Amino acid sequence: MAEEPGKLDISDEMIAERRGGSGKMPSDMPSWMAKSIINIDKFSKLIGNVVCWILIPLIFAMTYEVLARKLFLAPTIWAYDISRFLYGALFMLGAGYALSRGVHIRADFLYRNFKKKTQGLIDFWLYLLFYFPGLLVFLYMTIGFVEESIRRGERGMDTTWMPFMWPIKTCLLVGIIFLLVQGFSELLKSYWAAKKGNWPGEENK
C-alpha cells in the first residue's frame, strides 16, 4: 500500500519509544525481573536528568570563546579543552540513559519488520555475545588508562592550557559502568520479548 502524501514514516521512532519508560510491568512477570527493569530504568533516567545540565557550562564556554575571539580579539586558552571535555562527558555519562530510551543508532530497515519474538531473540543474543563481552573488555582496559593517567599526572599536550586528562578518562570509565547496568535491564526486556512476544510495558501504553 502506498503511503499518503506528506505522511511521516515513524517506524524508527516507534521502535525507540517502545523501550522508553517501562511503566507498569506485565502481571505475569517475575517480581525480581520487574523490579530490576523498573529500578534500573529509573536510575538511568535520573542520571540522564543530571547529566543534561552539562550543556549549560558547555554552551557558556563556547559562547564566551566566540565573543572574546570575535569582539575583543582575545581568544581563551581553555575553551577548546573545556568544550571537548564537557561534550565527551555528556556523551559517555548519558549513553546509558540513551540506551534505556532505545535511541542509539541502529540499522532498523529489516529489524522493524520482524515479529517481536524474533526482535527479542536477536537482541538477547547480541547482548550476550557482543555487548557485554565488548564492554567488559573496554572496562578492563579503561581502568588501566585511568589508573595510569592519575599516577603519571597526565596532561593534554595539544594545547597550551595542558589540562589534566584523568577527569575525562574517569567519565569514560563511569559511562561504561552505566552502560553495563542499563544493558542488564535491556537483556531482561529482550528475554521477555523473546519469550512472550511483547516488550515489557508495551501493552500498558
For the stretch 70-94, pLDDT in tens is 999 999 999 999 999 999 999 999 9
The whole-angstrom separation of Cα 120 and Cα 104 is: 17
Q: Which of 13-17, 98-102, 133-137 has the highest mean pLDDT?
A: 133-137
For the stretch 107-158, pLDDT in tens is 677 888 889 999 999 999 999 999 999 999 999 999 999 999 999 999 998 8
Helices (H), 102-131: 116-126
Domain boundaries, the chain: 30-102+113-198
What amino acid occupies position 21? G
Q: Which helix (H) or strand (E) holds 65?
A: helix 55-72
Q: How confident is the model at residue 1 (pLDDT cuts 50, 70, 90)?
A: very low
What amino acid occupies position 165? M
Which whole number is the average pLDDT over 16-39?
80
Q: Please list, residue by residue across 38-75, b when 16 or more beta carbons sit within 10 angstroms of its beta carbon and e when fewer do.
A: bebbebbbebbeebeebeeebeebbeebeeeeeeeeee
Specify the pLDDT at position 44: 96
Locate 125 and state its grid cell: 543474543
